[in-house]
Structure formats: C-alpha cells, structure tokens
Amino acid sequence: MGINTTSKQDLEDFKSYIIAEKNFSKHTAKAYCSDILSFLVWMDEESCEDITLQKIREYLHFIQKFNYKKTTLARKIASLRTFYKYLYRERKVDSNPAMSLINPKRPKSLPKFLTPDEVEQILNNTKIETPAGYRNRTILELLWATGMRISELAGLNFGDLNLENNEIRVLGKGSKERIILVTDRAKNFLERYIETARALIPKGFPAPPEEENSPVFINNTGYRLQTKTIRNAINDVVEKINLPKHVTPHVFRHSFATHLIENGADLRVVQELLGHASISNTQIYTHVSTQHLKEVYNEAHPRA
C-alpha cells in the first residue's frame, strides 16, 4: 500500500490552499487533510486526478463498516467535495466527481448555551492575580461580549482594534472581514490587559511590540496565543465550580447569540455579528430561544 506521488503533492497543495486562501482553522484543516489522506491511502497507487464518481462511491461504501457518526460522514464528504473543487479550479481534473455527493441527514440538535448567571460564575472564578490569568479573563469577557470564534480572537492583531469606537475587526471563515462591537466592560478589561498584563506574560522573553501586525494575545514565550490554552483555562474553571455542563469557547458564542435573540435582537443583526454566510445558520437560535421559553413555562405554570 502506498500513495501516488502526484496525489501526495496535490494533498500538500490543498493543505496550503485551505489554510492560506480559505482561512480554515487549524483544527478544520487538519480534519480535512486527514480525511483526504485516508482516501488516498485507500486508492493506493491510483492517482486522485483519475478518479470517477463511481470510485468515490466505492470508497464511501467501504468506510460504512467503520460505523462513523453521520456528522463525521458529512465532514468526510465535504472534505472530498472541497478537495476536488480545488483540483478542478487548478485544472488538474476536467470536472468535480464529488460535486453530486449527497450528505447524510444529520440529527437535528440545538446548540448548547449558558445562562447569564452561569457565564458570570465562570468569569468571576477565573483568577486574575497573575498576568496570564488576567489575559484569560479578558479573553472570556470578549468571547461573551462579542460572540467571536476562538480562532478569530486568537488571530487578533493591534491593527484590528478600534477601541475608541468599541469596535474590533475580525477575519472570519473564508477570509471574510467583519466588524464586531465590544461592550464597555470588555473594552476596559482589554485596555487594562494591554496596558499592564501583556508585557508581563512572557517569562524571560520580550513581549512583541504593539504594532499593527503584532498579536494582541500572547503566551509565556511572547508568541501568539494558541486556542488550546483558552480551552484549558475554561476547563479548569468549569471543573472548579462543578458546573454540570460541557463548556467550550463555542458555547460562549452560542450563548451570545441566544441571549441577543431572547432580548429581541433582529435576526439579520445577529447574523452580521456572528459572520454567518446564510441566515439559515442563525435561525437555529430562534429555536433555542423557543425551547428555553417552553422550559420556563413548564416549570412556572401551575397547570403545565
């Protein structure tokens, strides 16, 4: 078993494309490339540029025996579709053989979210006595106040900040820029972090200057902060306060959107703030809000 040399180079080029041009997160890029690598290994020495739709269907039939979840199968199909769309764009194939693949129906599940009290509980139990702790609290305040993705937050540079107008420019999926708004509370944390804590975080290393292309959030060696550090910080707090929920940075994003909808925000405004390409992606939060309303009704009404 091996991988065709041409296919191997195509995969390397594809990886560069989805990271540099499509602005995929490292997590998504890794998953897509892993999916394609598995496909190339299955094809053995056959070139990916000679593959037909029938061959791809044979591969999908082959992986059925692994009993993947429908969400995983949907991602693998999306990986193949994106890979061959790239090859078609580069004129390495005459057509996209994966274009007509149909995703399996995903089970409908509402996004998990935190109540405002639960968010405050997490924020107030994030230690701020150390420079790194103050940085983490600032990040959580921003996630709660803006609904930005953790990858967008980690990628912030000083040139993206317009704190005088309570605005931050972020680079979202597909390299799409948008402006998000910041509350005064989150802005105050960010300003104090920049003025005091940031320079103290690196241990024995100089903090990068506050220049346009310098990262806002840094680690203890002075380099751009990785998202894993934030996930670990959240996990530590949630474990300490025994919160019976699985909390991730994306749960903060869900919570932000849900509470905006619950408090009467226009759906189009929420779509713009979240950076959703389609409003159908935003509409799920109206269902979350309705479900929450039903739960409160059933708990509070004497005849419910």
Residues 81, 135, 137, 149: which is the catalytic one? 149
Q: Any catalytic annotation for residue 178?
A: no
Identify whether the C-beta of residue 75 lies closer than 8 Å to the C-beta of residue 89: no
β-strands 177-181, 161-162 pairing: unpaired
Q: Any catalytic annotation for residue 285?
A: yes
Q: Any catalytic annotation for residue 259?
A: no
Distance CA 202, CA 177 (A): 30
Convert 66-99 to b/e letters by CB count within 10 Å (16 or more is b). eeeeeeebbbbbbbbbbbbebbbeeeebeebbbe
Q: Any catalytic annotation for residue 173?
A: yes
Distance CA 69, CA 20 (A): 29
Identify whether the C-beta of residue 285 lies closer than 8 Å to the C-beta of residue 111: yes
How far CA 267 is from CA of 106, 257, 273, 294, in Å, comes to 24, 10, 10, 20
Residues 81, 253, 254, 259: which is the catalytic one? 253
Residues 32, 86, 134, 285: which is the catalytic one? 285
Residues 192, 224, 250, 292: which is the catalytic one? 250
Residue 181 CB-density burial (10 A; 0-12 exposed, 13-18 middle, 19+ buried): middle
Q: Any catalytic annotation for residue 149?
A: yes
The sheet that has 161-162: what strands, in order across it?
Answer: 161-162, 167-171, 177-181
The tokens for 173 are 């999926």
Catalytic (active-site) positions:
149, 173, 250, 253, 276, 285
